[in-house]
Structures are given as structure tokens and as C-alpha cells.
Amino acid sequence: MGLVRVWALPADGDRWGLPGRRGVGPGSRTGGTVPGPFEPAPLEWQECGGKECATLVVPRDHASPDGPTIEVAVARIRAVVEPRIGMLILNPGGPGGSGIEMLEWMGHWLADPMLLGRFDLVGFDPRGVGQSTPVRCMEGPDDEMAVLGGPQRAWTSL
């Protein structure tokens, strides 16, 4: 059986908050400004085959919260015992593991009232995996140059 990482988060309704980045202290070697925290829209949960599913829209680059976005697929199995304590997030690890598939094969066992029935169980497909936004690979030398910034910059960055 593989290793499973689980995080417990306090109950906060149907919203996931993402922590903002902390600023860089004086005298650090990294300069520039640190973007403010990204505020995701509330998730719109829909029934999907014995669980609830939603899409979390996040910045593609956390350093550019106003830039292009990607979609991260999430699913949950609601707590079966009241009062609900919070949520447990199942992290599939990697590379390439689907947290939604993990939730499907482990979720109903974990949701047993004698085990963890007071927690919502949440799985997600990391970016580029399963139902989340696929990774777009470079399609040729022009794409590579756009990313690397030309041969001189590529060599000096090595």
C-alpha cells in the first residue's frame, strides 16, 4: 500500500482559503515585491457519482496572481456524523497521482463513522493530472526561445 498524506483543516464552510506569501525580510538576497494573497472564488459543489465535485480556479504562477489561471479539479465526500469537525485533504503525492481517484478508492472506507466520519474528505487532481488543466509543453524552438529568452540568456542561466 502506498503512503498517504492527510491534512486536517478546520471547518470553514464551502470555501478554501489559500495562504498569502510572506514578505522577504530586510537584508535578504531576494529583491522585488511580493504579490498579495490570491482570493479564490467560493467553490460551486455539484453531485457527481457518490461524491461532490467542483473546480478551483488558481493563478498559473503564484508570483503573478493577476496573470493566467488554471483549473484544479476537487471532489469531496461529506462527513457522515454531526457535528462535523472539519475536512481532511488527501494528497496523492506524485508524480501524476490523482487525488480524486484516491478519494474514490479510499474515501468511503475513511468516511466510516468509527474512523473519520466527522470530517469531509477532499481529494484533488494536481495541475496537469486527471481532470485539472493539462500541462502545455513547448512545441518547438520558438517556444523554447520565448521561455529561455534567447541563447545568451540560456547559457548564462546554467
Number of domains, the chain: 1
Assess if residue 31 is contained within a domain.
no
Closest CA to 116 of 92, 89, 81, 83: 81
Determine how β-strand 52-59 pairs with β-strand 46-47.
antiparallel
Give the residue ranges of DSSP H helices in the chain: 99-110, 141-148, 151-156
Cα–Cα distance measured from residue 137 to residue 143, given in angstroms and rounded to the nearest whole number: 9
Is residue 72 situated within a structural domain?
Answer: yes
Range of the domain at 64: 39-156
* φ, ψ dihedrals at 105, nearest 5°: -90, -20
Q: Quick check: is 111 in a domain?
A: yes
User: What stretches of the chain adopt beta strand conformation (E)?
Assistant: 5-10, 46-47, 52-59, 69-77, 86-91, 119-124
Summary mean pLDDT of the chain: 77
Residue 23 lies in a domain: no
Query: Would residue 64 count as lying in a domain?
Result: yes
pLDDT tens digits for 105-155? 888 788 777 777 888 999 999 988 888 988 877 777 777 777 666 666 666
Specify if 99 maps to a domain. Answer: yes
Rounded Cα–Cα distance for residues 6 and 110 (Å): 11
Q: Within a domain: residue 73?
A: yes
Tell the residue number behind the cell numbers 481529494, with chain if given.
123
pLDDT class for 35, splitting at 50, 70, 90? low
- Residue 87 has phi, psi (to 5 degrees) of -135, 150
Question: Residue 32: inside a domain, yes or no?
Answer: no
Report for 1-10, 38-47, 136-145: range of highest mean pLDDT: 38-47
